[in-house]
Amino acid sequence: KMSFADVEKTIGHFGKKAKEGKMALEDMSGGTFTISNGGVFGSLFGTPIINPPQSAILGMHATKMRAVVNKEGKVEARPMMYLALTYDHRMIDGREAVTFLMSVKKKIEDPGRLLLSL
């Protein structure tokens, strides 16, 4: 299992290779999961499509201010980001997929959880 720091180092490694034009086909194949960040292009919502042989893809969209009802029943503006998880139900049970999605949600809402691996 990779730590948050390990993931960051790996992303940096591949980012450097990409900037230098040194990415090889082997660097981009064999993955089982993709994170698609359409939010950087302003995407508000969408359904990501799985590229075989991958088993799932997480779509992360733009964070925008939206009207939400708080715990006291009052409407207030809050930053909201939609997440979309598409998965192959032949490989991943719905319960595990939703549990994973809720874990991602909690970590986005409280980034300290990522750093502490909670």
Strand 33-37 relative to strand 56-69, pairing:
parallel
Annotated active-site residue 13? The verdict is no
- 94: Cβ–Cβ under 8 A, 6 or more apart, which residues? none
- Which tokens belong to 45? 């919502």
Annotated active-site residue 89? The verdict is yes
Q: Which of the residues 6, 13, 27, 93 is marked catalytic?
A: 93
Q: Report the distance separating Cα 108 and Cα 47, nearest Å.
A: 19
Active-site annotation, residues: 89, 93
